[in-house]
Structure 1
Amino acid sequence: MIPFSILDLSSIVAGSTATQALRNSLDLAQHAEQWGYNRYWLAEHHNMPGIASAATSVVIGYVAGGTKTIRVGSGGIMLPNHSPLVIAEQFGTLESLYPGRIDLGVGRAPGSDQATARALRRDPMSADSFPQDVLELMNYFQPDDDTNPYVHAVPGEGLNIPVWILGSSLYGAQLAAMLGLPYAFASHFAPAELMRALHMYRTRFKPSAYLAEPYAMVAVNVVAADTDAEAERLFTSVQQQFMYIRRGKSIQMQPPVDDLTTLWADYELAGIEQVLGCSAVGSPETVQQALANLITQTQADELILTAPIYDHKARLRSVEIAAQVRSALAAQEAVADLH
């Protein structure tokens, strides 16, 4: 059965703090490790009051230091915000501290609005050099062979740190295919181009020293509870979050509500349903069927799950149910193989 992983934004919920959000992230990572998840990724966003993982490399070190075996990485680092050398040094440091456990997923989006991009000193045209920046970054991890006698990433040079291309459009799929790198698609908030991007990545993939065959990871929101009704209520927190973003306002994650139609117009709700279309919400049976369908549809090599839930205990329960669902799917697959 394909691996399941976790994508975490270290959500700061209404009435709480960044400190508690980060502690919750570590707690979730420790549980995910026990439940057999493959990797735990954190994402870079800026100027968002509901997200505590802006200093992504720092949070990765915190989570890796509090776990033992699970891979920890970025989903992702928004590379145009940074010097490739600095990212190579940061992840070289992480890999030196936690060898064999660090992933580096990179994207070209700002992870912020335009005003924040300026505050980050980001060049408005920096996204245009993303392919060159990825190549520069990867070159810093190469062993010293005298091709660049002037600039070395220390730590970083000669370390085996997997680089992933992240994307929500066809651009990242083409770049990952061209460079022969693993690819992760952000279908948890941008599902429209998922199937086209996967097809493009797989058909154009060029084997490389990093990867012999294409490897695609698909992101999906999973909100699981003991009943469909309970899960659907929990899901209203992330629905509210995206609704506020569409209205131009980023806020902390709100408590779930019984009826979203009392808060938002029908046309707004329809738009959110489209954005969050790649979601598995419901009881264990409902989530199992939804994830089985997604795996069949996408032929994903790995799923990376988000758990956008207001209450931390409910979030833990959702991630535990998803791990149980994976075991059930694996058992079904084993039975099918016998026949």
Structure 2
Amino acid sequence: MSSSTTIPLSVLDIASVDTAGGPVAALAGARELASAADALGYERFWVAEHHGMHGIASSVPAVLLAAIGQRTERIRIGAGGVILPNHAPYAVAESFATLATLFPGRVDLGIGRSGADPVLAHALRRAPDDEFTDTLEELLGFLDGGFPEGHPYQRLEALPRPPVAPRAWSLGASVRSATEAGRRGLPYAFAHHFFNSRGAEEALAAYRENFRPSARAERPHAIVTVFTICGETSEQARRLADPALFPVLRLGGSSPAVPLPSLAEAEAYHWADTERAAGDALLASQAVGDPDEVRRALTGLLERTGADELMITNNLTDVKEKIGSLARVRALAPSLPAPGHVGV
């Protein structure tokens, strides 16, 4: 299905690290990718917060975004997201107020609540999960520039005060998170990009049903994030996806805490039939293939969910291949369903 209204496309990146390049190459690649996404006309470029993983270099989104902002001109930049229980809300508000002052009118702040292991939680001075609602309300109060009369933080401001405040987004992967986002009147991003992800249709339906207009968003706006590799051929796309499957399938004793194998290492690995079948199953709900296969996958996802925006992500570590995939997906945009279209 095509439409005169083109679906907005955005990018989520985690600065993936492989055994060939290391973290220096990963962070340089993230900046190069953001610059390419800007030139290609993508809507926004987000980076995600992860800790204690040698395969991911985006530990501190605000620092990385400061570097990315210097390499971009138009594209919105943001966190997808900041794991709020890891931080004091006031410190997050100050960091993103600073970014929004450096890069006026193009900073997003995605807010999530993902868990951490107990030792890491202690090292981060992490707030308990059951305090998430209170800490989120604090953060929104600092971002919005005020608290109600009598609130203990009424006199505090998160400075510097930017010309345009960062736009807050709620992140999640459940009906619960979608419902909460709708009730708060926040734009929402659903993490469909996790392998074997389910529930995007139900979550976005709950989000729209529960949405209450607010100063943060007059109408619902939902992003669906999808793992996407668009190759020149299906075979190329599958080859590029192989390193991402290693940590998930624990091939060769790998784990998410170590760097991804390089493409050469993945190509040298002899896949058993059962491993290949398991890998194919992990990718079945995502968008990996040649342009026609990716178009069909993204079209189906849009028609099922009625998303207002697509955010594509993958953990390719070859930046040239990653940019090539971005360019091919961008070329598909006019042939994808219109924003908010839910198929019958």
Normalised to the residue count of structure 2, the TM-score between the two structures is 0.87
| CA apart distance, 1:236 | 0.9
Aligned to 2:342: none
| CA apart distance, 1:224 | 1.2
Matched, 1:286 2:288: no
Counterpart of 1:212 (choices 196, 214, 218) is 218
1:97-176 to 2 correspondences below 5 Å? 97-110=102-115, 112-123=116-127, 126-143=128-145, 147=149, 148-156=153-161, 159-176=164-181
Asked if the contact 1:244–1:251 (Cα under 8 Å) also holds between the matched residues in 2, the reply is: no
Counterpart of 1:183 (choices 182, 188, 199) is 188
Matched, 1:251 2:253: no
Aligned to 2:306: 299
Asked if the contact 1:143–1:158 (Cα under 8 Å) also holds between the matched residues in 2, the reply is: no
**SS of 2:46 mapped into structure 1:** strand
| CA apart distance, 1:181 | 0.4
Matched, 1:202 2:204: no
Matched, 1:238 2:244: yes
Distance (Å, rounded) in 2 between the aligned partners of 1:156 and 1:44: 24
Aligned to 1:324: 331
| CA apart distance, 1:5 | 0.2
| CA apart distance, 1:225 | 1.1
Counterpart of 1:69 (choices 57, 70, 74) is 74
Structure 2, unaligned stretches of length 5 or more? 1-5, 339-344
**SS of 1:18 mapped into structure 2:** helix
In the superposition, relative to structure 1, how do residues 136 and 47 fare at CA in structure 2: closer, same or farther (>3 Å)?
same
Farther-moved stretch of structure 1 (78-87 vs 113-122): 113-122
Q: Deviations over 1:16-72 (max 9, x none)?
A: 121211111111111111111000000000000011110111001110111111000
Aligned to 1:11: 16
Matched residue count: 326
Aligned to 2:229: 223
Identity %: 35
| CA apart distance, 1:249 | 4.8
Distance (Å, rounded) in 2 between the aligned partners of 1:290 and 1:90: 37
In the superposition, relative to structure 1, how do residues 159 and 133 fare at CA in structure 2: closer, same or farther (>3 Å)?
farther
**SS of 2:250 mapped into structure 1:** helix
Asked if the contact 1:77–1:107 (Cα under 8 Å) also holds between the matched residues in 2, the reply is: yes
| CA apart distance, 1:259 | 8.6
Aligned to 1:38: 43
In the superposition, relative to structure 1, how do residues 309 and 177 fare at CA in structure 2: closer, same or farther (>3 Å)?
same
In the superposition, relative to structure 1, how do residues 34 and 158 fare at CA in structure 2: closer, same or farther (>3 Å)?
closer
In the superposition, relative to structure 1, how do residues 287 and 155 fare at CA in structure 2: closer, same or farther (>3 Å)?
same
| CA apart distance, 1:270 | 5.9
Amino acid across the alignment from 2:123:
A
Distance (Å, rounded) in 2 between the aligned partners of 1:303 and 1:145: 34
Q: Deviations over 1:251-277 (max 9, x none)?
A: 2121343597x45673x6666555544
Asked if the contact 1:217–1:304 (Cα under 8 Å) also holds between the matched residues in 2, the reply is: yes
In the superposition, relative to structure 1, how do residues 230 and 271 fare at CA in structure 2: closer, same or farther (>3 Å)?
closer
In the superposition, relative to structure 1, how do residues 165 and 285 fare at CA in structure 2: closer, same or farther (>3 Å)?
same
Q: Deviations over 1:86-131 (max 9, x none)?
A: 0000000000110001000000113x433222221214xx221212
**SS of 1:165 mapped into structure 2:** strand
Structure 1, unaligned stretches of length 5 or more? 334-339
Asked if the contact 1:142–1:158 (Cα under 8 Å) also holds between the matched residues in 2, the reply is: no
**SS of 2:199 mapped into structure 1:** helix
In the superposition, relative to structure 1, how do residues 223 and 249 fare at CA in structure 2: closer, same or farther (>3 Å)?
closer
The one of the two structures with greater contact order (alpha-carbon pairs below 8 A, sep at least 6) is 2
Amino acid across the alignment from 2:64:
V
Q: Deviations over 1:123-144 (max 9, x none)?
A: 4xx2212122111111112345
Distance (Å, rounded) in 1 between the aligned partners of 2:272 and 2:136: 41
Amino acid across the alignment from 1:172:
S
Asked if the contact 2:189–2:224 (Cα under 8 Å) also holds between the matched residues in 1, the reply is: yes
Aligned to 1:337: none
Question: CA RMSD, aligned part only?
Answer: 2.4
Asked if the contact 2:247–2:255 (Cα under 8 Å) also holds between the matched residues in 1, the reply is: no
